[in-house]
Amino acid sequence: MEGPPGRHLRDGLPSYEDLKQRTDRPAGSSWGVFGEDDHLGTLNFLTPERVVAATRLAKRGVVFNLDYPLDAFTPPPVSTRSVPRHHIFQTNPNHRDDWLDGVYLQGTSQIDGLRHIRHPEHGFYGGVADTEVAVGQPALGIQEVAEHGIVGRGVLLDVARQRQADGPAPAGSAWSISPADLDRTADRQGVAVEAGDVVLVRTGWAGEFMARSTDERWRRAFGREPSPGLHQSEATLAWLWDHRVALVAADNVAVEAFPVDPDSGLVDPDETAVEEGGNHNGMLHRPWIALLGLFLGELWRLDDLAADCAEDGVYEFLVTAKVLNLVGGVGSPANAMAVK
C-alpha cells in the first residue's frame, strides 16, 4: 500500500488517514488489507484471542434478546418490503409444521452483508464484479458470516440516555451522533471501545416507534421520517475504522442519521437520482460497506439491555449473532444476544 509513513496504528494495520492516501486501490478503502480474496471485511478484527476474552464477560448468566419479532415493523422500513405471513399445517392430528411467505431478510432486526451496497464508482467491496453478486453465487454472501460467526465483546453506547440526562430531544426528531458524542458517552459510562468490538449505539428510536399506535405508525410514514443516527462525516468513518470496530449496530433504520447531512462532503451533486428505491447519495452505507467492508446491524432491540447496563453500571458483555447460512444472501435477521 502506498501512503504516508508513520500513521499505522499499534496493530500494524493502516489508519483511516492512511487509507485516504491510497493510490493502489480506491482511496478510503480497506481493499486488500485483509488479503486479496477477503470477503469478511471488519469481521477480521474478531480474532480467536478476542473471542476467548469476550466469553469471560458472561458473569451473571443474564441473557438479553436483541431481536424484535419478524413482523414487528409495520409498515415495513422500506416500501419494497412486506411483513411476513406465518402458516401452520398438519398432516395428522399429532403433527404441526410451518412456513413463512414474504420474508424480507432485512425487514426487522438484521445485519447488512457486504452485498447490500455497491459504490457507484468503485463497485462492490474488494472489487467483486457485479456479475458475481447473484443468487447462488458465493462472493460476499452472508454465508461467509455464518461460517465465521459473530462472537465478541459488545459495548453499548447509550447515547439516548446521555442526551436525556442533558435535556430531552423532541420525539422522532433527527439528531446526529458525532464521534465526540460517542467518546463523551463512553467516558460517562466508564467504558472504552477496543479493537474487535461490536459497538451498539442506542438512539431510542425503535422503542419510541414500538410505543406508537398503528394509526400513528402509518401517519408518520415509517422509513421516510427523520431519524437520529451517526453523523455522515469523514470523522465518523475514521472513528469506526481506527477503533477497529468489527460491527456497528443501532436501534434505528440505518444506523446513520436520516435525512443525510447535505453539507457532509459525501453528497455527489452530479449523481443522477434513482427513480425507484432509496436514494443512497451521501449515505455512509457506501463507504462503510463497499469501501471499508464494515458490517452494520439495524433495528436492534437495545432498551432492555440499556436499562440493565444503567442499573449495574456495566456496559460491556458477550455478544453473539448467528446469521442465516444462505449462500449468496445479501443480509440476514441478526439472531443476536447479549450475555452479562
Residue 14 and residue 24 in contact, taking contact as beta carbons nearer than 8 Å: no
Q: Looking at residue 125, what DSSP letter applies? A: G
Q: Which CATH architecture has domain 33-78+102-265+278-339?
A: 3-Layer(bba) Sandwich (3.50)
Which set of grid coordinates corresponds to residue 27?
482511496
pLDDT at residue 66 in the model: 98
* 7 torsion bin: left (phi>0), alpha (psi -120 to 50), beta (else): alpha
pLDDT in tens, 278-327: 788 778 999 999 999 999 999 999 999 999 999 999 999 999 999 999 99
Give the per-residue pLDDT at 4.
Answer: 38
Tell me how many degrees the CA angle 216-228-267 measures, rounded to the nearest 5.
115
pLDDT tens per residue across all 340 residues of the chain: 444 344 556 688 999 999 999 999 999 999 999 999 999 999 999 999 999 999 999 999 999 999 999 999 888 777 777 788 999 999 999 999 998 998 889 989 999 999 999 999 999 999 999 999 999 999 999 999 999 999 999 999 999 999 888 876 655 556 899 999 999 999 999 999 999 999 999 999 999 989 988 888 777 665 567 889 999 999 999 999 999 999 999 999 999 998 888 889 888 887 877 766 678 877 899 999 999 999 999 999 999 999 999 999 999 999 999 999 999 999 999 999 999 9
Q: Is 15 exposed, middle or buried (0-12, 13-18, 19+ CB in 10 A)?
A: middle
Please check whether residue 191 is in contact with residue 155, taking contact to mean a CB–CB distance below 8 angstroms: yes
Q: What CA–CA distance (Å, rounded) separates 57 from 154?
A: 9
Burial of 11 per CB tally in 10 Å (0-12, 13-18, 19+): exposed
Q: According to the model, what pLDDT value does residue 168 have?
A: 64
In this structure, which amino acid lies at residue 110? Answer: Q
Q: Residue 169, SS3?
A: coil
* Residue 96 burial by Cβ neighbours in a 10 Å radius (0-12, 13-18, 19+): exposed
Q: Rounded to two decimals, what is the model's pTM?
A: 0.93
